[in-house]
């Protein structure tokens, strides 16, 4: 292993406890150091973030530059072409939105391609699993379903949803789900998305040198593009995945590295596309492959998920989950992973080296993602098992020849996940009168103060999981119901907050609601594309009534406290454009004290949208979110109700104490 060691003792060694609050990841960082293997945490410690880039004060959009401005004196200088700091920052921001939106949107388009091939019978290994969902999605965009066969409805739905991507003029189909007043604001500013391809192309065009040079106009197209993701690309991904693979409903699932089993062949699927994972599930149930694993001395095959594809199957099939983004390298250090297969998005190139150190085959499967030094086994929807059986065979062979010492941190948390927006309605209202009314009622009467979406990545620039967990604890303590997706959800699952018992950590009002319904105070909705479920849930809250008539009126707030990806920036922008106050942590790619900053952080709200917020620490973020929720409650005239309910509760407690 000598040549694989990290070179040079001069590298900074930071205490592991500064890197993460995930015990398993901490153990594996320590082991990796002993083994001489470098992980993202060490790389982050030894690579100071570029201060000019962090403020977005540089531009490399043409060969007259690259140009560097000074964030300390933002208006003291312009680029060679004369571009101001506001133009440079808003163009950089625009390119992040375009790239982030393209990622989830392209993923959604893949799901739609699969849907088409399934309907036409060209792909036989998948089928339409959830016909109830098929009908409800079709109806939600005005497709008449009475008297039609499943195939007829599916075909019509396909051709409608294709417009989400390819439409040249007009509004995307899911604009029909947007509350009327919110849609009016979008129309007023001319930002209702046409098709995602058009919006992304437009945004790339106008952020080219010498095109759009007004930060307000660039921001408008950022919103339009981001909305084409949230209400378009991502929403289609969620809905089609539900139709093909089943709409999630709550299941108890194991999370953390302890889900690996020393005496089993362990296979990890890491990425975003549910079709690969669904086929992996088939492969690990193949009796010939199970027999082969046993013949190699294993007790069986153990399939485990990571990151977003992990969350999707975790919600649908109860497959255990080993950890979030910052644990993907660390999990290989256990030596117990017999194959890690990946598809697209958030796959660190550093995995190649770590996998190599522990003789784990790292297998890429998607035409969009090859990684130098990894093995590529192409996944083909016409014959998916060809790829996934092959992965299992490689894993069995690695198991048989395991040389790496196996050391699995024995941590497992069990939590309940899989709260689709449909299930939330059913859970609150009961099967005969499924509705968001009880949620609205509890917000109106003050038991629930408001709703927060806490989502997004982990990032080695902050202590892994720590901000997610502390923030969510603070929110629920203040009677804020928390909805979660993405790597954030995994942080909370590991911390044990996704169980109904976690209700004891909630404030008195939220606790009472959770105990009555039997639900956790933290509801996991799935992968990052499933942020679209939060949009649908919020729209339902507006529709049910009593909380204002646009999304911007709701006492809700969003946050990605440990974000790192461009997808997160795009998601933030579509929440803001939809009317939600959205706070980001870590760092914000923009210079404070500039016009563009003021536009994103103040003026958008004055125009009827949401706005951006920024803070690093959990307590500070919580304060911002709660203050916003209270501001919205006050505007709705609900501030008194909450005082009353808290007073009632104090009285009741006093009576209990006296008794």
User: What's the order of all strands across the beta sheet hosting 265-270?
Assistant: 301-306, 265-270, 337-342, 362-364, 375-376
In the beta sheet, which residues pair with residue 339?
267
Question: Is residue 522 at the binding interface for ligand NFS, with CB under 6 A as the rule?
Answer: no
Cβ-contact 258, 408 below 8 angstroms: yes
Closer residue to ligand SF4 (CB): 67 or 96? 67
- Smallest separation (angstroms) from ligand SF4 to the CB of 93: 14
Question: Is residue 53 at the binding interface for ligand SF4, with CB under 6 A as the rule?
Answer: no
DSSP letter for each residue of 626-652: HHHHHHHHHHTT-HHHHHHHHHHHHHH
Partner in contact with 59, chosen from ligand SF4, ligand NFS, none, beta carbon below 5 to 8 Å by kind: ligand SF4
Gap between the Cα atoms of 287 and 270, Å rounded: 24
- For tokens 């109860």, what's the residue? 318
- Smallest separation (angstroms) from ligand SF4 to the CB of 77: 10
Partner in contact with 387, chosen from ligand SF4, ligand NFS, none, beta carbon below 5 to 8 Å by kind: none
Gap between the Cα atoms of 107 and 542, Å rounded: 29
Q: Which of 60, 77, 433, 652 binds ligand SF4 (CB under 6 A)?
A: 60
Q: Strand, helix or coil at 402?
A: coil
Closer residue to ligand SF4 (CB): 67 or 537? 67
Closer residue to ligand SF4 (CB): 74 or 193? 74
- For tokens 């962090």, what's the residue? 54
Partner in contact with 456, chosen from ligand SF4, ligand NFS, none, beta carbon below 5 to 8 Å by kind: ligand NFS
- CA torsion, points 253, 258, 262, 266, in degrees to nearest 10? 50
CA angle at 323 for the pair 259 and 349, rounded to the nearest 5°: 120
Question: Is residue 67 at the binding interface for ligand SF4, with CB under 6 A as the rule?
Answer: yes
Partner in contact with 567, chosen from ligand SF4, ligand NFS, none, beta carbon below 5 to 8 Å by kind: ligand NFS
Contact region with ligand NFS (CB under 6 A), list: 72-80, 122-130, 287-295, 560-568: 560-568
Question: Is residue 289 at the binding interface for ligand NFS, with CB under 6 A as the rule?
Answer: no
Q: Which of 220, 316, 567, 642 binds ligand NFS (CB under 6 A)?
A: 567
Question: Is residue 308 at the binding interface for ligand NFS, with CB under 6 A as the rule?
Answer: yes
Partner in contact with 446, chosen from ligand SF4, ligand NFS, none, beta carbon below 5 to 8 Å by kind: none
Interaxial angle between packed helices 531-544 and 234-245, expressed in degrees from 0 to 180 and rounded to the nearest 10: 100
- For tokens 């910052």, what's the residue? 326
Closer residue to ligand NFS (CB): 103 or 161? 103
Find all residues with CB under 8 Å of 103, minimum gap 6, and list them. Answer: 344, 345, 566, 567, 570
Question: Is residue 211 at the binding interface for ligand SF4, with CB under 6 A as the rule?
Answer: no
Question: Is residue 325 at the binding interface for ligand NFS, with CB under 6 A as the rule?
Answer: yes
Cβ-contact 554, 545 below 8 angstroms: no
Gap between the Cα atoms of 614 and 591, Å rounded: 12
Q: Which of 111, 268, 280, 346 binds ligand NFS (CB under 6 A)?
A: 346
- Smallest separation (angstroms) from ligand NFS to the CB of 325: 4
Site string for ligand SF4, 97-136 (x = CB under 6 A): ----------------------------------------
Gap between the Cα atoms of 1 and 250, Å rounded: 44
Q: Which of 535, 541, 533, 581 is nearest to 444 (CA)?
A: 541
Closer residue to ligand NFS (CB): 248 or 548? 248
Q: Which of 275, 565, 591, 594 binds ligand NFS (CB under 6 A)?
A: 565
Cβ-contact 262, 405 below 8 angstroms: no
Q: Which of 462, 487, 503, 510 binds ligand NFS (CB under 6 A)?
A: 487
Interaxial angle between packed helices 234-245 and 307-317, expressed in degrees from 0 to 180 and rounded to the nearest 10: 40
In the beta sheet, which residues pair with residue 376?
364
Question: Is residue 97 at the binding interface for ligand NFS, with CB under 6 A as the rule?
Answer: no
Cβ-contact 443, 544 below 8 angstroms: no
Question: Is residue 192 at the binding interface for ligand SF4, with CB under 6 A as the rule?
Answer: no
Closer residue to ligand SF4 (CB): 68 or 116? 68
Gap between the Cα atoms of 264 and 279, Å rounded: 19
Question: Is residue 456 at the binding interface for ligand NFS, with CB under 6 A as the rule?
Answer: yes
- Smallest separation (angstroms) from ligand NFS to the CB of 324: 6
Closer residue to ligand NFS (CB): 274 or 446? 274
Q: What is the DSSP letter of 248?
A: -
Cβ-contact 98, 200 below 8 angstroms: yes
Question: Is residue 70 at the binding interface for ligand SF4, with CB under 6 A as the rule?
Answer: no
Question: Is residue 59 at the binding interface for ligand SF4, with CB under 6 A as the rule?
Answer: yes
Question: Is residue 251 at the binding interface for ligand SF4, with CB under 6 A as the rule?
Answer: no
**Sign for the pseudo-dihedral over CA of 34, 36, 39, 45:** positive
Helix%, strand%, coil% for the chain, nearest 5: 55, 10, 35
Gap between the Cα atoms of 342 and 340, Å rounded: 7
Question: Is residue 209 at the binding interface for ligand SF4, with CB under 6 A as the rule?
Answer: yes
In the beta sheet, which residues pair with residue 416?
252
As a three-state string, the secondary structure of 140-158 is: HCCCCCCCCCHHHHHHHHH
Tokens (6 digits) for 639 = 């501030």
Question: Is residue 66 at the binding interface for ligand SF4, with CB under 6 A as the rule?
Answer: yes
Partner in contact with 64, chosen from ligand SF4, ligand NFS, none, beta carbon below 5 to 8 Å by kind: ligand SF4
Of 72-101, which residues contact ligand SF4 (CB under 6 A)? 79-81, 83, 88
H-helix or E-strand spanning residue 14: none
- Smallest separation (angstroms) from ligand NFS to the CB of 569: 10
- Smallest separation (angstroms) from ligand NFS to the CB of 43: 16
- Smallest separation (angstroms) from ligand SF4 to the CB of 436: 47
Question: Is residue 64 at the binding interface for ligand SF4, with CB under 6 A as the rule?
Answer: yes
Site string for ligand SF4, 14-33 (x = CB under 6 A): --------------------
Q: Which of 428, 568, 580, 629 binds ligand NFS (CB under 6 A)?
A: 568
Which residues sit at the interface with ligand SF4, rule CB under 6 A? 59-62, 64-67, 79-81, 83, 88, 209
Which residues sit at the interface with ligand NFS, rule CB under 6 A? 307-308, 325, 345-346, 456-457, 486-487, 527-528, 565, 567-568
């Amino acid at each position: 292993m000598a040549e694989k060691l990290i070179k040079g003792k001069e590298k900074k060694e930071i205490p592991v406890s500064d890197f993460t609050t995930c015990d398993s990841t901490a153990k594996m960082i320590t082991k990796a150091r002993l083994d001489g293997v470098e992980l993202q945490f060490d790389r982050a410690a030894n690579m100071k973030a570029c201060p000019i880039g962090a403020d977005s004060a540089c531009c490399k959009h043409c060969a007259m530059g690259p140009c560097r401005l000074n964030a300390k004196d933002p208006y003291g200088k312009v680029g060679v072409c004369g571009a101001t700091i506001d133009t440079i920052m808003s163009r950089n921001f625009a390119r992040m939105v375009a790239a982030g939106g393209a990622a989830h949107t392209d993923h959604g388009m893949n799901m739609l391609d699969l849907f088409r091939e399934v309907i036409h019978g060209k792909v036989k290994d998948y089928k339409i699993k959830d016909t109830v969902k098929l009908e409800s999605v079709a109806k939600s965009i005005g497709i008449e379903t009475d008297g039609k066969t499943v195939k007829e409805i599916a075909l019509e739905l396909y051709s409608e949803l294709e417009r989400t991507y390819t439409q040249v003029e007009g509004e995307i189909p899911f604009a029909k789900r947007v509350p009327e007043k919110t849609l009016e604001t979008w129309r007023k500013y001319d930002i209702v998305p046409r098709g995602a391809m058009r919006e992304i192309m437009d945004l790339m065009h106008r952020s080219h040198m010498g095109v759009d040079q007004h930060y307000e106009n660039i921001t408008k197209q950022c919103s339009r593009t981001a909305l084409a993701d949230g209400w378009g690309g991502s929403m289609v991904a969620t809905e089609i995945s539900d139709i093909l693979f089943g709409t999630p409903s709550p299941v108890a699932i194991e999370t953390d590295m302890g889900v690996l089993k020393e005496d089993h062949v362990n296979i990890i699927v890491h990425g975003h596309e549910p079709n690969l994972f669904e086929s992996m599930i088939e492969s690990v149930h193949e009796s010939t492959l199970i027999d082969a694993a046993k013949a190699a001395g294993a007790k069986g095959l153990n399939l485990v998920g990571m990151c977003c594809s992990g969350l999707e199957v975790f919600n649908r099939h109860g497959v255990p989950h080993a950890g979030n983004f910052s644990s993907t390298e660390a999990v290989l250090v256990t030596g117990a992973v017999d194959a890690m297969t990946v598809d697209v998005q958030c796959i660190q190139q550093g995995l190649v080296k770590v996998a190599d150190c522990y003789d784990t085959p790292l297998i890429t499967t998607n035409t969009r993602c090859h990684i130098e030094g990894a093995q590529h086994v192409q996944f083909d929807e016409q014959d998916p098992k060809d790829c996934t059986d092959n992965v299992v065979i490689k894993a069995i062979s690695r198991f048989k020849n395991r040389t790496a010492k196996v050391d699995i941190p024995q941590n497992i948390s069990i939590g309940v996940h899989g709260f689709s927006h449909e299930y939330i309605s059913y859970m609150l209202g009961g099967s005969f009168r499924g509705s968001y009314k009880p949620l609205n009622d509890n917000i109106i009467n003050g038991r629930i103060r408001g709703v927060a979406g806490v989502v997004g990545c982990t990032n080695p620039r902050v202590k892994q999981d720590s901000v997610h967990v502390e923030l969510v604890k603070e929110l629920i303590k203040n009677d804020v119901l928390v909805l979660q997706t993405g790597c954030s959800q995994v942080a909370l699952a590991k911390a044990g907050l996704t169980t109904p018992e976690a209700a004891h950590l909630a404030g008195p009002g939220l606790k009472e609601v959770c105990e009555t319904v039997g639900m956790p105070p933290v509801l996991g909705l799935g992968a990052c594309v499933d942020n679209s479920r939060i949009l649908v849930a919020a729209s339902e809250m507006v529709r049910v009534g009593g909380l204002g008539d646009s999304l911007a009126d709701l006492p809700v707030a969003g946050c990605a406290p440990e974000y790192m990806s461009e997808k997160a920036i795009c998601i933030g922008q579509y929440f803001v454009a939809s009317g939600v106050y959205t706070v980001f942590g870590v760092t914000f790619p923009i210079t404070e004290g500039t016009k563009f900053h003021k536009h994103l952080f103040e003026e958008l709200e004055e125009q009827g949208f949401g706005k951006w917020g920024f803070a690093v620490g959990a307590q500070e973020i919580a304060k911002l979110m709660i203050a916003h929720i209270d501001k919205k409650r006050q505007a709705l005239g609900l501030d008194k109700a909450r005082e009353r309910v808290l007073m009632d509760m104090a009285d009741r407690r006093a009576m209990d104490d006296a008794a």
